[in-house]
Amino acid sequence: MLQTAFYFGHTIRMHTHQHTADYEAGRNQMLPNTPRRAVYAGSFDPPTLGHLWMIRQAQSMFDELIVAIGINPDKRSTYTVAERQDMLCDITKMFPNVRTDVFENRFLVHYAREVDAGFIVRGIRSASDYEYERSMRHINSDLAPEISTVFLMPPREIAEVSSTMVKGLVGPEGWTETIHRYVPQAVYEKILAEHQHEN
């Protein structure tokens, strides 16, 4: 299956069935002794199989991937920051080049600069996602032109999976079997434990 990442300024064509990737190198990639570090940010409330797919793909493309929880004080979260970070640590422990972090009250591109990341990774699930992320890419370029944006397109079977969707499925009869399809095992167990505690 051909999966395409739109890397602004250049193009990355990922052929997962051949386990190869063709890179037109950006600034960090052209310097052989410079680690290529990327940031993948989100609320991860909770992490889903869509998030895990993004992490798996991104960590294979870069020397280091920072999975960062962005805290929005105006957005009510179901899980605490500590709980979300624990879940992320559980589902990424098989990737030695992945670490988790938290940032608050600053633009993602400024956070990326603070951690010396040359790339921001974003997922594109729909045409509306693309339009929004393209606009954000232009803003990010104005704020930090040295940081590039990489767009990854998840496969169709998980393209519509989101944290909001998963939380909306909790409750009705048969919900446990249903959400099991959309979240990693460690997250599934956390959701079950949380629901049992509430009841």
> Is residue 31 annotated as involved in ligand binding?
no
Q: How far apart are CA 75 and CA 22, in angstroms?
A: 39
> Is residue 37 annotated as involved in ligand binding?
no
Contact between 2 and 8 under an 8 Å Cβ cutoff? The reply is: no
> Is residue 124 annotated as involved in ligand binding?
yes
> Is residue 137 annotated as involved in ligand binding?
no
Residue 44, both tokens:
């991860």
> Is residue 164 annotated as involved in ligand binding?
yes
> Is residue 64 annotated as involved in ligand binding?
no
> Is residue 162 annotated as involved in ligand binding?
yes
> Is residue 15 annotated as involved in ligand binding?
no
The DSSP result for 27-48, as a single string, is HHHHSTTS--EEEEEE--SS--
Using alpha carbons, list the distances in angstroms from residue 193 to 39, 189, 199: 30, 6, 10
> Is residue 158 annotated as involved in ligand binding?
yes
> Is residue 81 annotated as involved in ligand binding?
no
The residues, any chain, with a CB within 8 Å of residue 79's CB and separated by 6 or more, are: 45, 46, 87, 190, 194
> Is residue 106 annotated as involved in ligand binding?
no
> Is residue 104 annotated as involved in ligand binding?
no
> Is residue 125 annotated as involved in ligand binding?
yes
> Is residue 60 annotated as involved in ligand binding?
no
> Is residue 160 annotated as involved in ligand binding?
yes
Binding residues for ATP: 43-44, 51, 123-125, 133, 158-164
Binding residues: 43-44, 51, 75, 108, 122-125, 133, 158-164
Binding residues for substrate: 43, 75, 108, 122
